[in-house]
Every structure is written in structure tokens, then in C-alpha cells.
Chain A
Amino acid sequence: MTPPPAQAATLSTRSLLSGEGSRGGSLPSWAPWGAFVGALAFCGLVEAALGWFTIALMVVFGALVAILAIYAWSRPIEGARRAKDRAVTMAIVAAFGVAMAPLVSLLYEVLTRGARGISWEFFTSDARGVVGGGGAAHAIVGTLIITACAVVIAVPIGIMAAIYMNEYGRGPLRRALTFFVDVMTGIPSIVAGLFAYALFELFFGPGIRMGIMGSIALTVLMIPIVIRSAEEVLKIVPNHLREASYALGTPKWKTIVKVVLPTAFAGLVTGVMIATARIIGETAPLLVTTGVVDSLNTDPFQGRMQNLAVYAYNEYRSPGVMKQASYDRAWAAALTLIAIVMILNVIARLVYRRYKTEIR
């Protein structure tokens, strides 16, 4: 089937120039779509005939058959190499579709199911003394307080450490920090929760639950993300800005505060917001530290504190008498959480695009 080498060289040059295959011919532009739809229909019919029809199987087999079909179709017309290219392209697009399908389905389900549980009551009342009803106001407030405490602790430490790594650090401490920040990125969230529990148990005795414990656990998860992103943006502040500042006799600390940080400001804010979005939906560390409670608590240093993620889990886990209403509230909490995360991410990117300093 393969043409002799000399001919292959001239043909492929021509194919590059004219957009044709090494066999001279070329499939119509709708060929990949045609092959895919045809394969889907074929598999659907075969499965229906055999009596094992399910959508998932039809799509999986359909994609496989489509890859074979496009290869078999293209090979006699366009030659083996173009045929292989088409088959692989088809496989990659199919894999992309397979990978995106669950993610699209997830967003769709959260939107439709969550909308059912959203109501005025959901945002304004807590669930104290209510059987099979109530809202999630206590969870929303708790989420905000716990996350805010974590941000207040993690951001200064994280950014100062990033300044150390980028502006001051050298020698073993810097190397150790780089390495251990990487290690810290990999700490499972539940382990961070256990750490916070173990820390507070030592001082307050067993069974302790407080909002601030959750914040400490989240701090452990947030710091490495903040350092990573802050280091990244500090690194791209050009050295000539620092040197110009030194040349004017400005001390180093003032150079950092007045020149380096303002230049990197948009990037720092973006990094902090993305890190916040990452920790605001954490469930496991809060499950073991802040506990489950039905009423509003605004004091992070006293007693249990509910939050949205644990609320969603608990509504699913112990639905009580009115199961469906409870599940609806779990989805509503999920929708609220996803909305917060998405808004934080989008704002972060807008901030970056709008306020980033042009560095030349």
C-alpha cells in the first residue's frame, strides 16, 4: 500500500501545498462528522437488536467504531499516514468529548436540582428546632467566617514567605522552603483537619469543636497555594525596577513595599482569590473540626459552627422524614457553593486583566 520513498517525498510536499493526501484524493470536509454519526447510529441499532441498549455503551462503542471507520474510509483514498492522522484526531476529539461529558452533566445537575431547593427561606433562616425544613443561613455565615479567618491567617504568612523566597532567601532555608512548600501542597485535606483537631485537643481536651479549628486546618491547605502564586508573580517583577529604586537610595524594605508589591499587586490579589475559592468548599477538614450544628453561631472561638459543605453532606447523610426536601437543600447548598467558587474565580481573572501592570 505504501508508495516508494522517492514518490512519498514529492507527494507529501505536494499534499502540504495543495492540502491533499499522499494518494492524491481527499475525503469531503464533513467526513469525520459523517463517520461519527454513522457509527453511533450503527452501534445503537446493533445494541437495540441484541437487547443491551444503554446510552453510555452506545457512545463508547460508537466512538471506537467511528475511529475504525474513518481509518478504513481514508486509507484507500488518502494513504496510510493521513488515515492514521485522521484516526488519532478522531480518537483525541472523542476522548475530549468523553472527558467533558461528566463535567457538563455535573454543572447541569447542580443547576437544575439546586434551583429546586433555593428559596428566600434558604438564605435567611437557620435550621434550629425545625423538623424537615429550615434554611442554611447559619451555614452560609459559618462558611464566610471560617474562610475569612483562614484568609486572615494564611495570606500575610504566605505572602511574607514568598517575599522571603524571592527577595531575601538563599542557602539551605530557601531550598528547604521550596521543597517543603511542594510537600505541603500534597497534604490531603482530611489530614489537615486531623492536625487541627490534634492541636486543639492537646490544649482543650477531647471532643473539642470550634470554628477557628476549621480555619487552622484550612490555613494549612491555603498557605502553599498562596506562596506558589505569590512567588510566581514576584518573580516576573523585572529587576531593573528594583535597581532603579536602589539607585535612588531607597532601602530594600521600602523598595519591596513601594515598588515590588504594587507592581505585582493584581497578580497577588488574583492568587489569593483563587486560593480562597479552592478552600471555601473543603468539607472533610471541617467535618472533623467544626462539627455539625443547626443554629447560627458567629463566634469562631466558641462552640460548633456549621458551613455550607458540611451542611450539604449532612442533609444528604441524615435526610430525616422529608427525604426529597432534604436532598433539595443539599443540592441548593452545592449550587450556592459552586456559585461562590465560580464568582471568585471569574472576579480574580477580571481583576488580573483589568489591573495588571504592564511590564516591559
Chain B
Amino acid sequence: MAHLDTTTNAGQLLAAASGGRRRRGDRIFSNTAVIAAVTILALLVGVAAFLVAEGFPALTASSADLPNHESFLSYVAPLAFGTVLAGVLAMIVAVPLAVAVALFITHIAPARIAMLLGFFVDLLAAIPSIIYGLWGIFVLGPAAVPAMKWLEEKLGFIPIFEGPASITGRTMLVVGLVLAVMILPIISAVAREVFSQTPRKLQEGAQALGATRWEMIRTTVLPFGRSSVISGAMLGLGRALGETMAVAIILSVSGGVTFNLIGQANPSTIAANIALNFPESSGLAINLLIATGLVLFAITLATNFIARMIIARSEVQ
């Protein structure tokens, strides 16, 4: 085929266009591309199908046969509660901070520093979760013990700070903070992207009307970026819900359902529960864990789905 490049002329072109050789090359290549595309769809279907197939025995087994002699629902409910609690806690902490970080980098820091900071925050998004886990248990946990004691003493009347405060720092509050630190770079990357795309003429128009910097941000940047920030937050939430190792390492679990964030006994999360129990499990216990994984998959799917819907809707407008 190589001679076609160099010795092309109109006659050859016409001949080749109607001939089969060139079409064969095209056909093979485009078929490969289609196969790759279909493989990916098959992979995703496969993830769902194999989880259902392996989780199914646990879903149908009677509660007497299951390892803890309780029904699947009563096994997974506290775990799902813990998952959502940790995720929501992380989001409450991370979203305002991430927006502030994005605003700082795009609108407040001098341009030269801003680029470096943006690069730094992007690097942080790549730090493996196991390292956040080690940091949480060895550094943040012990450092948070006196603060949690203070919360118990001064704000103990609020149910979430009821106590008795943990003396090890392996609490839901610390987990929420670590998860917040983990998802902050993700949310702030999304927010930074959209904040820096705010039309210049809007910003300059606001300033020409005499707006202070904050008034300019409030009237142009924030409304422009709102839907993207929401979807970025949902992506971060999806990440926090599925986070495994940091939670497995830090949290001291008891399995109950409680809103007390600083106590010794905390509800576990689905992902952490799998990581902690899977290596030592066999038989139906494995099926049970895979079934809980299916529930986690459904929860994160729903979260991401909502995020994509919000993005899609804002794009139409």
C-alpha cells in the first residue's frame, strides 16, 4: 500500500477508490475500533453480571445459612448507613473548602503562583488512598483526640458529639475528615476548570461597574460555575462512598447504627467491610460480601448518574 502515498495521481486514485484493497485496510481498522468499543460495553455488563451471579446465592439464602445468622438486608443496612454517613460528612467538609481553593487559585493568587498551586493540587489527586489511610491513623487520629475531647465536653449536648470521645482517634469524624482531604483535589479541579472559563467580558463588566472583587465573584463566577460545582461534588461523593483502604485502616467498627461521630463504636462502610473480611472468608461469606459490593455499586451508580444528569442539563442551557 505504501506506494499510494508517493505516486498518487488522479487515475490511480479513482482506480483505488473503486478497488477492494484500500477498503479492506479500512474495514479491518474500523472493525478493530468497533470491537474495542463493544469490549468496553461488554466489560461493564460483565462487572454487573458477575457481581449478580456471585452475589445471588447470598441474596436467596435463608438467614439461618448466612454467616451471621441475619438476613441480607439487616446485614447490609448498617453498612450502607455508615457508607452514606462517611460520604456525606466528607462532602460537607470538602465542598466549601474545594470551592475556596478553586477561587483562590483562579481569582486571588498571583498568576505565577496560581499555576504552581494548580499543579500541586493535581498531584495530590494522584496520591494512593493507602497513604491517606496511614496518615489518618498515625497522624490525624492522634492529633484529633484532644479536639474530640473538647467537642465532647463543650458541645456534647449535640447528638453527633455525644461521646464518650474515643481515646484512639479511630472515629467517624476522623474518617470524614480524611475522606474530605482525599476528594478535595477532585472537586477543586472541576471547580477550577469552570471558574477559569467564566467569560472575561462578564467579569470585566462587573468590575467596570465598580464591583469589588467579591461582588464580581458573587455575581459572575459563582452563578456561571454552580452546576459544574454541584456535579463535581457528586463525583467527589461517589469517590468517598467507594473509598476502601482509608476507612478500613482508620475506623474502629462495631456494626451498629449511630450518628455519634466521635465515639469508640462506629458503623462500618460497605467497602471497608469487604476489605477487612474478604481475605479470611470462604463459601457463602464470600457471596455475601460480593452481594454487599453490588449494593455499593448501585449506590455509586446512582450518585454518578445524578451528577451526569446535572451536567447534561446545564450543557443544554
Contact = CB atoms under 8 A, between A and B. Distances in A.
A253 B37 contact: no
B271 A188 contact: yes
A277 B126 contact: yes
Contact of B303 (A54, A100, A181, A186): A186
Chain B's interface size range is: 35 or more
Contact of A195 (B46, B133, B286): B46
A82 interface: yes
Contact of B147 (A56, A81, A106): A56
Interface stretch (A23-31, A124-132, A197-205): A197-205
Contact of A288 (B8, B275, B301): B275
Given A85-B212, A281-B128, A173 B301 contact: no
A182 B304 contact: yes
Contact of A253 (B25, B44, B130, B146): B25
Contacts of B28: 253
A320 B283 CA distance: 28
Interface string A94-105: 011011101101
Contacts of A190: 242, 244, 271, 274-275, 293, 296
Contact of A250 (B5, B146, B248): B5
Contacts of B242: 186-191
Secondary structure dominating the interface of B = helix
A257 B150 CA distance: 64
A272 interface: no
A157 B29 contact: no
Nearest to A55: B143
A334 to B, nearest CB: 5
B183 to A, nearest CB: 11
Given A190-B244, A191-B47, A95 B97 contact: yes
Interface centre among A93, A186, A187, A207 (most CB of B within 10 A): A186
Interface string B108-149: 100000000001001110111111111101111001101100
Interface stretch (B48-56, B156-164, B255-263): B48-56
A317 B146 CA distance: 25
Contacts, number: 291
Contact of B41 (A176, A202, A251, A256): A176
Chain A's interface size range is: 35 or more
B185 to A, nearest CB: 8
Secondary structure dominating the interface of A = helix
Interface string A272-306: 00100110111110011001100000000000000
A67 interface: no
Interface stretch (B65-73, B74-82, B98-106): B98-106
A132 to B, nearest CB: 19
Interface in A244-260: 248-254, 256-257
Contacts of A292: 279
A220 interface: yes
Given A56-B147, A250-B4, A341 B126 contact: yes
B40 interface: yes
Interface centre among A174, A177, A287 (most CB of B within 10 A): A287
Contacts of A106: 127, 131-132, 135, 139, 181
A342 interface: yes
Contacts of B54: 194, 197-198, 201-202
A83 to B, nearest CB: 10
A92 B100 contact: yes
A184 B212 CA distance: 43
A139 B150 CA distance: 42
A43 interface: no
Contact of B150 (A57, A327, A345): A57
Contacts of B32: 160
Given A54-B146, A163-B33, A9 B210 contact: yes
B265 interface: no
Interface string B263-301: 000000001001100110011001001100100110011
A220 B50 CA distance: 14
Contacts of A288: 274-275, 278-279
B155 interface: no
Contacts of A176: 41
Contacts of A188: 238, 241-244, 271, 296-297, 300
B200 interface: no
B98 A191 contact: no
Contacts of B314: none
Contact of A281 (B36, B122, B131): B131
A156 interface: yes
Given A54-B147, A187-B300, A206-B282, A160 B134 contact: no
Contacts of B26: 251-253
Contacts of B202: none
> Which 9 A-B pairs give the minimum distances between C-beta atoms?
A281-B128, A188-B242, A95-B100, A160-B36, A253-B29, A12-B210, A186-B304, A284-B244, A164-B33
18 contacts: A99-B184, A102-B140, A160-B36, A161-B36, A161-B39, A177-B37, A182-B308, A183-B44, A184-B40, A186-B235, A191-B51, A194-B289, A202-B53, A206-B283, A207-B282, A253-B29, A274-B126, A345-B123
